[in-house]
Structure 1
Amino acid sequence: MSVSSTRPRSRRRSRPRSRWTAVARTPVGACAGLLLLAVVLLAVLAPVLWGDRASVVDTAAIQQGPSSAHPLGTDNLGRDILYRVLVATRLSLLLAVAATLLGVVVGLVLGTVPSVLPRRAGRWVTSVVNIAVAFPGLLLALFFAVIFGVGATGAVLAIGLAMAPAFARLTQTLSASVVGRDFVAAARTVGVGRIRLLVRHIVPHISEPLAVNATIGAGSSLLAFAGLSFLGLGVQAPEYDWGRLLGEGLGRISLTPAPALAPCVAVVVTGLAFNLFGEAAAAALGVRTLSHRTVGPRPVPRPAPDAAAAHRPDSDRQPVLAVEHLRVAFPGPTGWTTPVRGVSFTVHPGEAVGVVGESGSGKSVTAMAVSRLIEPPAQVAAARLEFGGTPLLDTEQHVLRPLLGTSLAMVFQDPMSSFHPGMTIGRQLAEVAEQHQHLSRRGAFARAVDRLRAVRVPAPERRARQYPYEFSGGMRQRAMIGMGLMGDPRLIIADEPTTALDVTVQRQVLRLLTEVRSERGTAVLLISHDITVVAQNCDRVLVMYAGRIVEDLPAADLFTAARHPYTRALLAAVPDLDTDRTRPLAVIPGRPPEPDQVPQGCAFAPRCPYVDEHCRREDPEPVTHTIGHRIACRHPVADDETARVEKSTTKSTTGGTA
């Protein structure tokens, strides 16, 4: 049992509250919080205590200066200005908060609706928001005030809509930073719809930054309201707020400044309290906004079918996953980058296929593409991309969602970011059954507990009610596999599932994948940097380099029949018990090319000991070496050349890549 499992539930529930408590413990946050609390109490109590006195007309004391009876003087009807300023707190605060809430709600809708609407309509909404953000907020408020007319209602609408574009931009930015997280990808993999994805997974994750910015926005809204009322566009008689009182007292400022200064000080102090508390919260919670840039899409041409596919082994069997000439392109500041260039492979029922290669070789991008987790402006094209006989590129999303949600499981590299941090493990697993099996909330939770038990999670009933941070890394990976088993998966894509785990837990996770495969006939696509792990747990090995598969061979023949110089170099770089510790470790000299800087010809040419001019001019196509063994190389290594390759790749670690 992990240490985290002994934490009381009360501590888990108070975690978000404790973060806001930390804000109040800072000097600035404490002062601003106390000041805001005083303003709120004044807004509640002032109309009850002094509402009658503020409306008493005294014709014998018209426009008097400050005195013991009237500390701030009286207005043109003899009403006490101090009482009126105090009573005006409620209306001023309510209108500012109402406008802020309207701005946040409208901004939240405008910021998230592009993710739900069709692509073209979503781009129109984004363009309108970008144009509106370019205008000053007060100018927009005046524009809307003229449209909606004078009065408190028109001012609320004007200021709220003027604030909405800024919150929409903020929502878009925050959503973009969350959409790339693994737990969102996991939710999309299990088939969660876009609206539910926004409401359950994205919006709760960005609520804290929105709340902080709304607090700061309330101060600006208060100032904007005072300005509109001062100009006569806001609150109308007989109602009054601080801005209206400021306008009435400004005409007498040369004789007695108190009637104008009192509402002015109230606006400044309250607005400053909102802003200081928001800034303190932003500093304590680590809230920040990010800039992003959108690039127009460029279609990737659909390649011609791979003619060599007909000569592959097992071509008469229906594969679970069939990929032919897959290409993935991403837009960038200097043009399009293609990290996956013509990848072709198949995965059959019950088969385990391993994908190895250095970082940047395109392994994870390939997995994301076949899972339909890459969205515009990125482009995915293939001559054939089928899962269970269903074409993934030509089928509507509403048809694919139930198929991928029940038949495809993803196990991501980072077990901590694979789950939503604000939802219990059991609730996240149960969501799959609610979406695709139409089970009740209770029934779905019971199935989640059963799946946790199936993946050897101890005390599954208690664990299902715990949050991801209370699980160890190995437990989270087990729970992630359990999420995939909520349906009836035909394929599990495991993207570096053991990277952050110790050796013992790695072995347990890999054994669990093997058991699931043998018991249920599930195919496995295992992505790893460790070529030894792949060789021990897979039937076939795909070696990727610079976005291409350079060698495809049976795992049993990996150490004896590998022919590509890159594969041989990877094998030579793996130390074992017989490695001579007096010699430097074997490394591959140089570094793999960046995805946007792939050289002409063979990408491995700058690091290959057998390179010639022909290799530098033309990229070799995969050819069949033996049955089940394909190589993309003009100079495959023969058996008697193995020692030569290992010797050529054994260099000092300086300037090399292990």
Structure 2
Amino acid sequence: MNRRGAKWFAALRTPVGGFAASLLLVVIALAVLAPILWHDKAFEIDTEAIAQRPSAAHWLGTDALGHDILFRVLVATRLSVLLAVLATVIGVVTGLVLGTLPSLLPRPAARLVTSAVNIAVAFPGLLLVLFCSVIFGVGTYGAVLAVGFALAPAFARLAQTLSASVAGQDFVSAARISGVGRIRLLVRHILPNVGEPLVVNATIGAGASLLAFSGLSFLGIGVQAPDYDWGRLLGEGLDGIYVNPAAALAPGVAVVLAGLAFNLVGETVAGVIGVRAGVRKLAPRPASPARESSGRADDVVLVVENLQVAFPSQAGLTVPVRGVSFTVRAGEAIGVVGESGSGKSLTGLAVSRLVEAPAAVTADRLEFAGKPLLTTPERDLRGLLGTSLAMVFQDPMTSFNPTRRIGRQLAEVAEQHQGLPRAKAFERAVDRLRTVRIPAAERRARQYPHEFSGGMRQRAMIGMGLMGDPKLIIADEPTTALDVTVQRQLLRLLARTRTERDTAIILISHDIAVVSQTCERMLVMYAGRVVEDLPSAGTPRHPYTKALLAATLDLGTDRDAPLAVIPGRPPEPDRVPTGCAFADRCPAVTDRCRLEDPVLECVEPGHRVACWHPSETSFSPSAKKTVTAGGAE
């Protein structure tokens, strides 16, 4: 099975995908077979059973002429679905033409078309359908045109927005310079890049079209006798709803189920198409070997080799994390530092399996507690990650459900992953709150997140991680926006947890002082990759690490001297230059730095650097400090 087939198969195995496919198959089967099998029975008149309730002979009862309602609902599937699909096609084609015309017409005409679309979009959908139905007249054909043209403005706006986003790309400009005509430019360069979201919205729009068409028939301006669809049956059944409610409920349920099938299929298609660009094979880069463990093999908690995270974009793939490699042993504390946008948090999220489609996460090796995270089914990983890995986010207020009490949220972990009854799980939650030094834990467990201070919420987040037996805690900026006293309490809590439980810790932070006080190793990241891996008490060798330390403040800093800064700014993830990404900001740059990207190499035991000229320069005299000098980035 090829990759695309595998993605569709995986989508169909999900509950939503499987239910959507099954429901759509039932609708299609009824649309094809019902008129063949039950057409005559649907039109058969039983004069002895007029307007009767459900019975053994007529499961849903009969209408005012003695027709069997069940057979009529089943037979009406074909006309109802066919008209909805036809109206959707008209809406998509018309919208696509209106949306792309501005890129073909002269500017005054383009503005006129755009203004007309904007005015049409401003109208409520139902009013627009009724307005169009008055123009095109009563009947099936008029209703199809009314629904189709009423759907067109939304598709036109979507096509126009997507086309405008692509029209500014460099490859379109290059095509224009080469003399490509406007129509060919639209067909060959713009539409292929905007087709996928239009297909998804068209699939979802079919459900709205079905509902709108049924509404017109219900009002008597859609399908006319002797033909009938679900909307017309619903209108007829409503007249006798107090005598036979099933006569109105049956066609209504049919509309809901068919519309649900279209919408769920649209969501499934969106999930598959959305990851198509993201799972494209990334360009290979030299893999930096993960740091060798000095302990036993069974001490290794996490192994990361050549981790890459990519996001699809109009220009191709944006890779904000590229080739990250490291290992974490039991009881080890590792700090990850770097400027904003260096890929620190995204690396932690990728390791935690929290990066979702359309992003693509790849690695030569990504193992947690001996299990590969990228190839093991999510069902098998759920228990391991739920009990053995804890994540502490920067803002715990957004990590807790504001409508549920703290204790119940902690207890949910034990209920889901350890099978504890509700009362026992709550007792365990209270115990974990005591463990993280929250006073009056039993009372606090019955409070909501907004009743906790910032430091208490952070401790509660750690307590949630301790509901299981975590082998690894990933703390992403856990001390941000907290005062110094609370920061110290949290760092002590992490250190005590590490000592008592032999838990490994990955601390992601901008603050080098915090990392140096808590961790024994430090990973310095820049432009999506690790540029230096060194002991916290070691002397930095990479110019970027020295620059970060030169920008720190401590009690020995000369107050009269200007603050040290790193010139320039980090490159954007989609514009990483060839060679060393730090070359434009480095005073020791050479031609080799701009041509070749250095890999992490061992310069001394326990110290790796990705630099062609390590230790050849410093940014200021203060850069001679070791990492443990303290300060803040």
TM-score bracket relative to the smaller structure: 0.5 to 0.7
Contiguous gaps of at least 5 residues in structure 1: 1-111, 142-158, 167-216, 242-290, 649-656
2:543 corresponding residue in structure 1: 565
Aligned-pair CA distance for 1:366: 0.5
Q: Distance in 2 between matches of 1:113 and 1:415?
A: 35
Q: CA deviation at 1:230?
A: 6.9
TM-superposed CA distance for 1:118, in Å, is 5.7
Listed as ranges, the matches of 1:386-425 within 5 Å are 386-425=367-406
User: For the Cα contact (< 8 Å) 1:353–1:540, is it kept in 2?
Assistant: yes
Counterpart in 2 of 1:443? 424
Cα 1:313–1:633 shift into 2, 3 Å: farther
**Structure 1 residue 350 corresponds to structure 2 residue 331:** yes
| Equivalent residue letter for 2:219 | L
Give the letter for the 2:605 counterpart: I
Shift of 1:469: 1.1
Match of 1:381 in 2: 362
- Cα deviation, residue 510, structure 1: 1.1
Q: C-alpha separation between the residues in 1 aligned to 2:556 and 2:316? A: 48
What's the offset of the Cα at 1:511?
1.0
1:607 counterpart = 2:585: yes
Paired residues in the alignment total 411
Give the aligned partner of residue 228 of structure 1.
219
Letter in 2 for 1:599: P
- 1:617 is the counterpart of 2:598: no
Residue equivalent to 1:592: 570
Task: Please say if residues 568 and 645 of structure 1, whose CA atoms lie closer than 8 Å, have aligned partners that are also in contact.
Answer: no
Task: After superposition, give the CA deviation of every residue in 1:493-534 in whole Å (9 maximum; x if it has no partner).
Answer: 000111121111111111111111111110000000001110
**Match for residue 296 of structure 1 among 276, 281, 285:** 276
Q: Does 1:539 align with 2:520?
A: yes
Aligned ranges 1:257-268 → 2 under 5 Å: none
Q: Distance in 1 between matches of 2:557 and 2:291?
A: 42
Superposition deviation, residue 621 in structure 1: 0.8
Q: Does 1:581 align with 2:559?
A: yes
SS in 2 for 1:588: coil
Shift of 1:418: 1.1
Alignment CA distance shift 1:229-1:607 (3 Å): same
Q: Which amino acid aligns with 1:574?
A: T
**Equivalent position SS for 1:361:** coil
Q: Does the residue aligned with 1:300 lie in a helix, a strand or coil?
A: coil
Map 1:207-226; keep pairs closer than 5 Å.
224=215
Aligned to 2:442: 461
Query: C-alpha separation between the residues in 1 aligned to 2:297 and 2:525?
Result: 26
CA contact (8 A) 2:289 2:305 kept: no
Change in Cα spacing, 1:394 to 1:238, as seen in structure 2 (3 Å) is closer
CA deviations 1:275-310 (Å, max 9, x no partner) are xxxxxxxxxxxxxxxx99946333234968957448
Q: Note the alpha carbon deviations across 1:520-579, whole angstroms, 9 max, x for none.
A: 11000000000111011101000000011000011121xxx1100000000010011222
Deviations 1:292-344 (A, max 9, x none): 99463332349689574486644756410000111110112222110111000
Output the CA distance in 1 between the equivalents of 2:518 and 2:19.
Answer: 45
Alpha-carbon distance change, 355 to 132 in structure 1, aligned in 2, over 3 angstroms: farther
Quick one: structure 1 residues 520 and 312, their matched pair in 2 at CA, closer, same or farther if it must change by over 3 Å? closer
Instruction: Give the Å deviation of 1:421.
Output: 1.3
Tell me what 1:631 maps to: 609
Change (3 A) 1:307 1:453: closer
Q: Give, as a single letter, the amino acid of the residue that structure 2 aligns with 1:602.
A: C
Counterpart of 1:409 in 2: which secondary structure? strand
Cα deviations by residue, 1:164-213 (Å, 9 ceiling, x for unpaired): xx9xxxxxxxxxxxxxxxxxxxxxxxxxxxxxxxxxxxxxxxxxxxxxxx
| Contact 2:550 2:619 (C-alpha < 8 Å) held by counterparts | no
Q: 5+ residue gaps in structure 2?
A: 1-10, 25-80, 93-124, 131-146, 155-207, 225-231, 242-269, 625-631
Which amino acid letter does the alignment assign opposite residue 438 of structure 1?
Answer: G
Give the match for residue 173 of structure 1: none
- Relative to 1, partners in 2 of residues 1:121 and 1:300: Cα closer, same or farther, differing over 3 Å? farther
- 1:238 deviation in Å? 9.1
What amino acid does structure 1 have at the position aligned with 2:455? G
Specify the SS of the correspondent of 2:533.
strand
Q: Deviations over 1:356-401 (max 9, x none)?
A: 0000000011001111111222111111100011111111111100
Are 1:511 and 2:516 counterparts? no
Task: Give 1:589's aligned amino acid.
Answer: P
Does 2:239 correspond to 1:239?
Answer: yes
State whether residues 303 and 325 of structure 1, in contact with CA within 8 Å, keep that contact through their aligned partners in structure 2.
no
Whether the aligned pair in 2 keeps the contact of 1:312 and 1:628 (CA below 8 Å) is: no
Q: Distance in 2 between matches of 1:310 and 1:431?
A: 36
Alpha-carbon offset, residue 137 of structure 1: 6.5
Cross-structure match for 1:548: 529
Q: For 2:320 and 2:550, how far apart are their aligned partners in 1? A: 26
User: Given that residues 492 and 524 in structure 1 are in contact (C-alpha distance below 8 angstroms), is that contact kept between their aligned partners in structure 2?
Assistant: yes
Distance 1:396 1:305, change over 3 A: farther
Matched-pair contact (CA < 8 Å) for 1:306–1:324: yes
SS where residue 416 of structure 1 aligns? helix
Contact 1:305 1:383 in 2 (8 A): no
Equivalent-residue separation in structure 2 for 1:585 and 1:307 (angstroms): 35
Q: Which amino acid aligns with 1:296?
A: R
Q: Secondary structure at the match of 2:325?
A: strand
